[in-house]
């Protein structure tokens, strides 16, 4: 009886074990078929559904406009005012940040420089642009310069055209704003008016926006008090005044441009 029991137990377990082995075998076959089908699909160039691929969300980051500023001591400040946080470029940058529209500003300022005249750092605006202007600039603002003094109008216009060409070559997607030379009151010398007219003509010929501080009366009348005791450079309050002017120009221009 014990033998029979053992024999019966053995016989009854065999078909079960065989069924499990058969099941595993079938699973292996199915796995092989799936692998072959996948390889065949790939080799035939069949990919996932374009509709499904297009619906997959892609990561994005907020674009921050690159704004480059070219100018003289009216841009970088002087011992009369405009150093550090009091500088108009700093004030403008801070305002954009506080209004949740940050910009990345690159200030290229050289005291005494102009379109033709080399300043204390021995560069003109064009040479400064060639050395320091970013190729990624979205907006370039040129401000000045009274430093050029009395110039032949044709020479002045040629220098301006050369600068604008170099800016376009180095930063081809950038929009350009040209702000002419400012004066300290209503008594504008003829040579400053002449330089401004030549710069305006070169900008107009190139389709560039020109802003004229003379006709717009910057620092005229009661605002003349915003010029320092040297009779040339803006004070800290003068830089605050310039910040208001420049913020308006930059923000309006950026608003008309496509997001980079």
Same domain, 105 and 228: yes
Residue 58 lies in a domain: no
Question: How confident is residue 258, by pLDDT bands cut at 50, 70 and 90?
Answer: low
Which residue, among 148, 202, 220, 119, has the nearest Cα to 245 in the 3D structure?
A: 220
Contacts of the segment 2-6: beta carbons below 8 A, 24+ positions apart: none
Same domain, 29 and 149: no
pLDDT at 15 over 50: no
Residues 159-182, mean pLDDT to the nearest whole number? 98
In angstroms, the CA 238 to CA 224 distance is 9
Residue 63 is predicted with a pLDDT of 83
Residue found under tokens 């430093």: 147
148 is a catalytic site residue: no
pLDDT at 189 over 50: yes
In angstroms, the CA 87 to CA 74 distance is 9
101 is a catalytic site residue: no
13 is a catalytic site residue: no
Burial of 2 (0-12, 13-18, 19+ CB in 10 A): exposed
DSSP string, 85-132: GGSHHHHHHHHHHHTT---EEEEEE-TT--SSS--TTS--HHHHHHHH
CA 170 to chain CA centroid, Å, is 14
Residue 60 lies in a domain: no
Same domain, 94 and 204: yes
Same domain, 22 and 72: no
Range of the domain at 71: 66-255
Give 211's contacts (C-beta < 8 A, 6+ positions apart): 177, 178, 179, 180, 249
Question: How confident is residue 117, by pLDDT bands cut at 50, 70 and 90?
Answer: very high
**Which of these is catalytic: 73, 78, 145, 196?**
73
Domain count, the chain: 2
In angstroms, the CA 193 to CA 92 distance is 28
Q: How many CB atoms lie within 10 A of CB 9?
A: 10
- Specify whether the backbone of 84 is left (phi greater than 0), alpha (psi in -120 to 50) or beta: left
Residue 20 is predicted with a pLDDT of 42
Residue found under tokens 């050369």: 162
Extract the tokens encoding 259: 């997001």
Question: How confident is residue 257, by pLDDT bands cut at 50, 70 and 90?
Answer: confident
User: What percentage of the chain has pLDDT greater than the value 90?
Assistant: 74
**Which of these is catalytic: 18, 204, 215, 230?**
230
Mean residue pLDDT of the chain comes to 83
Same domain, 109 and 44: no
28-42, 118-132, 214-228: segment of lowest average pLDDT: 28-42
Same domain, 38 and 145: no
pLDDT at 5 over 50: no
Same domain, 116 and 238: yes
**Which of these is catalytic: 110, 233, 236, 239?**
233
- Higher local confidence (pLDDT), 17 or 141: 141
pLDDT in tens, 67-103: 999 999 999 999 999 999 999 999 999 999 999 999 9
Same domain, 196 and 220: yes
In angstroms, the CA 95 to CA 112 distance is 28
In angstroms, the CA 164 to CA 134 distance is 14
Same domain, 133 and 39: no
**Whether pTM exceeds 0.85:** no
Same domain, 20 and 70: no
pLDDT in tens, 130-156: 999 999 999 999 999 999 999 999 999
Beta bridge partners of 68: 106, 140
pLDDT in tens, 32-60: 444 444 444 444 443 433 333 344 443 33
Same domain, 127 and 194: yes
């Amino acid at each position: 009886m014990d033998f029979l029991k053992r024999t019966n137990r053995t016989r009854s377990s065999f078909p079960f074990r065989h069924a499990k082995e058969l099941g595993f075998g079938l699973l292996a076959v199915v796995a092989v078929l799936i692998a072959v089908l996948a390889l065949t699909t790939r080799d035939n160039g069949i990919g996932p559904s374009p509709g499904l691929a297009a619906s997959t969300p892609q990561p994005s980051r907020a674009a921050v406009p690159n704004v480059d500023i070219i100018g003289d001591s009216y841009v970088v400040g002087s011992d009369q005012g405009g150093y550090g946080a009091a500088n108009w470029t700093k004030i403008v940058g801070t305002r954009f940040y506080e209004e949740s529209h940050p910009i990345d500003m690159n200030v290229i300022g050289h005291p005494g420089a102009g379109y033709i005249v080399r300043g204390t750092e021995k560069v003109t605006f064009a040479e400064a642009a060639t050395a320091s202007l970013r190729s990624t600039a979205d907006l370039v603002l040129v401000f000045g310069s009274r430093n050029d003094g009395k110039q032949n109008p044709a020479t002045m216009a040629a220098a301006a055209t050369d600068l604008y060409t170099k800016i376009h070559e180095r930063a081809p997607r950038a929009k350009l704003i040209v702000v002419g030379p400012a004066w300290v009151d209503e008594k504008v010398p003829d040579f400053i008016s002449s330089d401004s007219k030549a710069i305006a003509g070169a900008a107009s010929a190139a389709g560039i926006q020109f802003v004229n501080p003379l006709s717009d009366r910057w620092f005229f009348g009661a605002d003349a008090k915003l010029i320092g005791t040297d009779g040339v450079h803006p004070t800290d309050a003068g830089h605050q005044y310039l910040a208001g002017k420049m913020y308006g120009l930059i923000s309006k221009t950026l608003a008309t441009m496509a997001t980079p």
